[in-house]
Amino acid sequence: MRLGGLEELPGCQDSSRLGATDVQLFGEIFGAIYLYLDSMAFLFLSAVGLIIILGMMGITNLAHGEFMMLGAYTAVLATRAGLPFPISVVFASLMVGLFGMVLERLIIRRFYGNLLQSLVATWGISLIISQGMLVLMGPSLQTIRMPLGGITVAGKAYAAYRLLLAVIAIGLLIVMWYVFHRTKFGMRARGAMQNAEIAEAMGINTSRMYQFTFGIGSALAGFAGALYAPTTVLAPLYGASFLAPAFVTVVVSGGANVIQGALITSVLLGIIEGTSSRLYGTFIGRMALLAAAMVILRVLPTGISGYLETRGERAR
């Protein structure tokens, strides 16, 4: 073939096609990894606060989605008031954490040891929060601009902020492991979880420990909601959409080991949801997430962390 009076060698044409194929293959691989990381980060960040409260206190907080929604709204309002977005995220986390500590003091602690009553109580709290936000904010949708802009890989655009969320999830995992395995607070919290009576006999104020633990779980819910505020359109009744994937992750994880369960479950379910969403769309991805959860719980009734802990005890 001649181009502009010059003859194109067959090898050059093959090399050009090979280069285009390599770029396309790299783009497909990057897109898959991006989707997996995005799914894993969301599942971990949205579930970690709920896992801490369930694993440490035995309370299934059905208001967790509303706590995330409060964090998202607080971050949006703080950003619109002029605060930089990172500071807005920290502010939202602190506010939701304090709110959770107040709720624990006034309401939650009355239902320790009673699963059904605690479910009803936290469900009632979720209704009050969502309806209260509807009255305060109205039905209008709220959005803020996503930070960092985008990157282009193999001709496709990706949000750089979602990659940052994956990095934040990994960082939070490391911090949580350190707090619950290397600090005095973590040791006391785990001791109170395993046997409250012995912990009290050793001088640990379990009542205060539970309050702090619930506050930390609430703050992490607010943190996750604030982080994901730029990625979605907020509405006062949006808490349920946050709760569903978080609750599935918590149930599959089990409460035996907070850190280990959250990590393994978010990775496993993230791969399943990410693959299904990439091939068949978001709706099918969410259905695959639920189906995988049912299968795992059928095989492992105590959850992934419960199964691993049982195996560890047998090995010893």
Task: Indicate the pLDDT class of residue 225, thresholds 50, 70 and 90.
Answer: very high
Q: What does pTM read for this prediction? A: 0.85
**Nearby residues of 162 by Cβ (< 8 Å), 6 or more positions away:** 34, 37, 38, 41, 231
Backbone angles phi, psi at 83, to 5 degrees: -75, 145
Q: Lowest mean pLDDT of 97-101, 222-226, 247-251, name the range.
A: 247-251
φ/ψ (deg, to 5) at 142: -120, 140
Q: Which residue has the tokens 């050009």?
A: 16
Token digits for 153? 């890989």
Question: Looking at residues 220-233, what average pLDDT do you find?
Answer: 93
Question: Given 1.10.3470, 3.90.660, 3.30.1370, 1.10.390, which CATH number is that of 36-304?
Answer: 1.10.3470
User: What integer pLDDT is reported at residue 234 of this predicted model?
Assistant: 87
Give the pLDDT of residue 96: 97
Question: How is the chain split into domains, by residue range?
Answer: 36-304
Cβ proximity of 290 and 273 under 8 Å? no
pLDDT in tens, 65-112: 999 999 999 999 999 999 999 999 999 999 999 999 999 999 998 888
More confident residue, 191 or 225: 225
Residue 2 binned pLDDT confidence (cut-offs 50, 70, 90): very low
Question: Could you give the percent of the chain with pLDDT greater than 90?
Answer: 29
Distance CA 7, CA 3 (A): 6
Q: Which residues of 41-124 form beta strands (DSSP E)?
A: none
What pLDDT shows up at residue 168?
95
Residues near 150 by Cβ (< 8 Å), separated by ≥ 6? 157, 158, 159, 160
pLDDT computed for residue 184 by the predictor: 83
